[in-house]
Structures are given as structure tokens and as C-alpha cells.
A and B are shown apart, each in its own frame.
Chain A
Amino acid sequence: DTGVSQNPRHKITKRGQNVTFRCDPISEHNRLYWYRQTLGQGPEFLTYFQNEAQLEKSRLLSDRFSAERPKGSFSTLEIQRTEQGDSAMYLCASSPRQETRGNTIYFGEGSWLTVV
């Protein structure tokens, strides 16, 4: 079990550029989540997948954001035409399909985005 892996760990980009983050979940985990965390705040839910199906998207996820999980394994989060307000840490997490209450969700170390 190698844990949830995210790349790149840090990204500095100019306003208006596109960026893409990748997440490799724990193998055999069906569910994959994306969260965003800004300085001094708790993480906020963005979206989640059950296998390759995107089952829920937060209203925080504007039209400039798109997430995919094409083969039900790794996932990408793309931000188009970045804005300074997009500067945050983007956290990926995974869990087995939830059969019981309180299924543990495992987080990666996050991808820091700075938009200048």
C-alpha cells in the first residue's frame, strides 16, 4: 500500500494559464475525492468519483474546473484560465466503496498551486 500519490507537489503559474494535477489513489480503492484547502481554512469538497463515474460536483467547481477518472484508476484535475483566487492546496483522497458507516478516507499530501 503506497498511499495516495499526487503530482506535481508544487506549481507556480501565471494568471490565465491552464494547469493539471494528477492523483493516483490507493490501488483497488473505488472512490476518489478532490478537495481544496486555502490558507487557514479546512479542506472543502470539490468532487468525487465512484470508479470512472463522477457522482457529485460542488458548486465550488466552476466551469473552469474539470476532473476526470477515465479508467477508474488515476484522476486528473484541470483548471483552465487560472485566476489568483485559485491559489490553494488541492487534496486528493481515496477510499474503498463505502459498505459501512465511517469508511476511512485516505488523503495524499496535496498539490500546492500559486497563481501569480
Chain B
Amino acid sequence: AQSVTQLDSHVSVSEGTPVLLRCNYSSSYSPSLFWYVQHPNKGLQLLLKYTSAATLVKGINGFEAEFKKSETSFHLTKPSAHMSDAAEYFCVVSRYNQGGKLIFGQGTELSVKP
């Protein structure tokens, strides 16, 4: 079975400071991992994905994540937060031979203070 645990339900940072959103995964197989972002009343947008190539993955809007197998983690980071980054972030795992079905974490709400 596969699952993801997002360790913080809410993170608050000041504009211009670093962002760290934590995610641990559990998978019996080598997983594919994703981060999606959801702005209020909007659908989900893919930020980045890990598919067993480079362990450091760069995404859109300056976000990146590092796959650490030994720690079963896939934390999302950004060097400098912007007000427009305020949103809900989901860590997601999938298994490629299960039809691409995605398993979502509970989400982390990111607030950015001026």
C-alpha cells in the first residue's frame, strides 16, 4: 500500500523568507512523487514531479524538492516566499502500474505574511 503524510497542516512564513513543506511517503515499490498546489476555488496545478531520475527536482515558480529514499521524504522548498505562493499544497504518490492513480496527502496550507 502507498500513502503520504504531510507533517504540517499549516505553515506561516514572511514574504522573502524560505519555505519548507514536509512530506513523508510510504510505498512498497519505487514511487513516483508529486507536489500539487491549489489556490482558493481553483483546480490543482502540478508544481513538480519525481520519477526516479535526478533526486533533486526543480519545478515551477522557484520550487524544488529532494527525494531522500533513506528518509522516505520528499520535502518541498523555496528560497524566498512570495505573497502569491499562499495556497494549499499537496504531496502525492503514485504507482505507475496502477493506472496512474494518485494518492494525496492531507495538504499543507501556506500563509505568507507581508
Contact = CB atoms under 8 A, between A and B. Distances in A.
B42 A95 contact: no
Interface residues of B, number: 25
A64 B1 CA distance: 27
A3 to B, nearest CB: 9
B106 interface: yes
A91 B99 contact: no
B63 to A, nearest CB: 16
B7 interface: no
Contacts of B106: 40-42
B107 A41 contact: yes
B99 A31 contact: yes
Interface string A13-57: 000000000000000000101010000111111001010000110
A98 B96 contact: yes
B103 interface: yes
Interface stretch (A70-78, A80-88, A104-112): A104-112
Contacts of B52: 101-102
Contact of A102 (B34, B42, B43, B103): B34
B44 A91 contact: yes
A2 interface: no
A52 B19 CA distance: 42
Interface in B76-113: 90, 94, 96, 99-107
8 nearest interchain CB pairs?
A42-B104, A102-B51, A102-B32, A109-B43, A107-B44, A101-B51, A107-B43, A101-B96
